[in-house]
Chain A
Amino acid sequence: MSVVVKLEDVHKSFGLVEVLRGVSFEVSAGEVVAIIGRSGSGKSTALRCINRLEKIQSGSIEVCGRRVEAPDLDLRALRQDVGIVFQSYNLFPHLTVEENIVLAPRRVKNVKGAEAHALARTALEQVGLSDKIDAYPEQLSGGQQQRVAIARSLAMSPKVMLFDEVTSALDPELTGEVLRVMEKLAKGGMTMIMVTHEMGFARRAADRVIYMHTGKVWETGTGAMLGSPQTPELKNFLANEL
């Protein structure tokens, strides 16, 4: 299977604080990888380095055959291949749901008129929100906003999707609807890297789980690894999560 994302010995510091201390992992096409770990272990930073929201100090990151750390990287081409969804949705509040979704396809891919409208409809169907196409973000629940954010990303047809604790800001009764959308995407063959605190979900939906600790990949395995942790750190972490 072809490798979509590959990190090799990635080091990242903020000032004097080294947040990623030699992170390496690979994600193949169609694979769903969950990253778990304590607060501050560098999970978000790792994701943000993948689409170069943060620059790394050393090591290498390859996404769809592109070297992310290369000085001549075509940043906008990279960002078209990589979709990212944040904990705080970050929808554009002055635009309707449809406008949120078609803004980037219009500007970046020059999609027009009826085609753009169809694109929005398709993306919204995927997240089960067809009836909200004309709503403004402030008229939606947190769970609905997050699903629109996912649809907005999907409309750019990314090759890999990154999710950073997308359910952490939601009430428990709303997390289910978002997780279901993500599971459906995973089943549909989307390559996904998701940082999550939902252990049950990680176990169920992920092909592979990566446990990060103090800026390193500490332990990695299938979802079953969560049932039989090898390191005391992961054991400890899981005990605190449940």
Chain B
Amino acid sequence: MNGGFSLYYFYYLLEGMGWTVVLSALAFVVGGAAGFIVMLARISRSAALRRLVFVYVQIVQGTPLLIILFVVYFGLGIFGVEMPPLFAAGLSLMIYCSAFLGEIWRGCVEAVPRTQTEAAECLALTRWQTLRDVVLPQAARIATPPTVGFLVQVLKSTSLASVVGFVELTRAAQVINNSTFQPFLIFGIAGLLYFALCYPLSIWSRALERRLNVSRRQA
């Protein structure tokens, strides 16, 4: 094992990078679904539900992701819940995503002018039809750039999963460094690999934003 950096190590990093993508996708898809429910609850007509979910969002947003991760991984472990690292990291990130995406999307829904809702309701559409056919399609256009932007954050945040021993990109780099002692090289490569994942997303987000601004100007 000892000796310089080799192709074998590079494959090991790539494998870690694969798990980073898997973890991000998992957190994003499941967290996105939960975030959608958070958004619906935040705009619900029931004040009690709105307040309850507001408290949830505040707690999650006010807690470092690492703490959420520890609570899920070690905390639930005490109750005898078997927690594979992938599952613990996925669940923590999902909770994190649900709160942030819920709030981002609520903002986008509320950015659709009230007059649109009014016009739809004046045409005898129900509240749900109004949301689905009139508000959400417009909110989705507004939401795309910040959502992609948030995806970049999530991708980088998956590195925290390394502390519970989940071998994603960061953990893989640590493991290699422990035997090769070339931190600049190895973490440098890991950084580049993160960059290779995030940069296209950033570009995409900016392109979406530009397109949105153009269509705004025409409207």
| CB pair A104 B124 closer than 8 Å | yes
Q: Which residue from chain A places its CB closest to the CB of B136 in the assembled complex?
A: A94
**Is there contact, CB below 8 Å, between B124 and A156?**
yes
A26 to B98 Cα, complex, angstroms: 53
Mark A81-108 against chain B: 1 for CB-CB distance below 8 A, else 0. 0111010101111100000000110011
Q: Which residue of chain B lies nearest to A51 when distances are taken between CB atoms in the complex?
A: B122
Q: Does residue B178 face the partner (Cβ distance < 8 Å to A)?
A: no
Partner of B122, one of A53, A103, A137: A53
Q: Could you list which residues of chain B lie within 8 angstroms of chain A, going by C-beta atoms?
A: 115-116, 118-126, 129, 133-134, 137-138, 141, 215, 218-219
Q: Does A208 contact B (CB under 8 A)?
A: no
Q: Name B117's closest neighbour in chain A (CB-CB).
A: A90
The chain B residue sitting closest to A76, CB to CB, is B124
Q: Does A115 contact B (CB under 8 A)?
A: no
- Chain A residue numbers with a CB within 8 Å of B118 are 53, 86, 90
Chain B residues near A88 (CB, 8 Å)? 115
Do the beta carbons of B115 and A108 come within 8 Å of each other? no
Measured CB to CB, the nearest residue on chain A to B113 is A90
Q: How many angstroms from the CA of A53 to the CA of B121 in the assembled complex?
A: 9
Query: Which of B121, B126, B133, B138 contacts A103 (CB under 8 A)?
Result: B133
Apart from A88-B115, A104-B123, A108-B123: 19 A-B pairs, beta carbons within 8 A: A76-B124, A79-B121, A79-B122, A79-B123, A82-B122, A90-B118, A91-B119, A92-B119, A94-B138, A103-B120, A103-B123, A103-B133, A104-B125, A107-B125, A107-B126, A107-B133, A137-B219, A153-B123, A156-B124
Q: For the complex, is A12 an interface residue (Cβ under 8 Å from B)? A: no
The 5 closest A-B pairs by CB, nearest first: A104-B123, A90-B119, A79-B124, A76-B124, A138-B219
Q: C-beta contact mask, A103-123 vs B, less than 8 Å → 1, else 0?
A: 110011000000000000000
Q: Assess the B134–A92 pair: CB atoms within 8 A.
A: yes
Q: A138 touching B218 by the CB < 8 A rule? A: yes
Interface string of A34-54 (1 = CB under 8 A from B): 000000000000000001010
Residue count of chain A within 8 Å CB distance of chain B: 25
Q: Are A90 and B123 in contact (CB under 8 A)?
A: no
B124, A92: Cβ atoms under 8 Å?
Answer: no
* A–B complex contacts, Cβ < 8 Å, 21 sampled: A53-B118, A79-B123, A79-B124, A82-B122, A84-B122, A86-B115, A86-B118, A92-B116, A92-B134, A92-B138, A103-B120, A103-B134, A104-B120, A104-B125, A107-B125, A107-B129, A107-B133, A138-B218, A138-B219, A153-B123, A156-B124
For the complex formed, measure the closest distance between the CB of A187 and the CB atoms of chain B, giving whole angstroms. 25
Q: How far is the CB of A44 from chain B (nearest CB, A)?
A: 12
By the criterion CB–CB under 8 Å, are B124 and A80 in contact?
yes
A51–B129 CA distance with the chains assembled, in angstroms = 19
A152, CB-defined interface residue at 8 Å = yes
Do the beta carbons of B123 and A93 come within 8 Å of each other? no
**Complex Cα distance A91/B134, Å?**
10
Residues on the A chain within 8 Å of B215, using CB: 138
> Residue of A at shortest CB range from B130?
A107
Q: B124–A108 contact, CB under 8 A?
A: yes
B122 x A94 contact (CB < 8 A): no
**Residue interface bits A169-204, CB-to-B below 8 A is 1, else 0:** 000000000000000000000000000000000000
CB B33 to nearest CB in A, in angstroms, measures 23
Tell me the nearest residue of chain B to A103, going by C-beta. B133
* Residues in chain B near residue A53, CB distance under 8 A: 118, 122
Select which of A94, A108, A153 is within 8 A of B137 by beta carbon: A94
Contact residues in A for B119 (Cβ distance below 8 Å): 86, 90-92
Chain B residues whose C-beta falls within 8 Å of the C-beta of A93 in the assembled complex: 138, 219
Residues of B within 8 A of A92 (CB): 116, 119-120, 134, 138
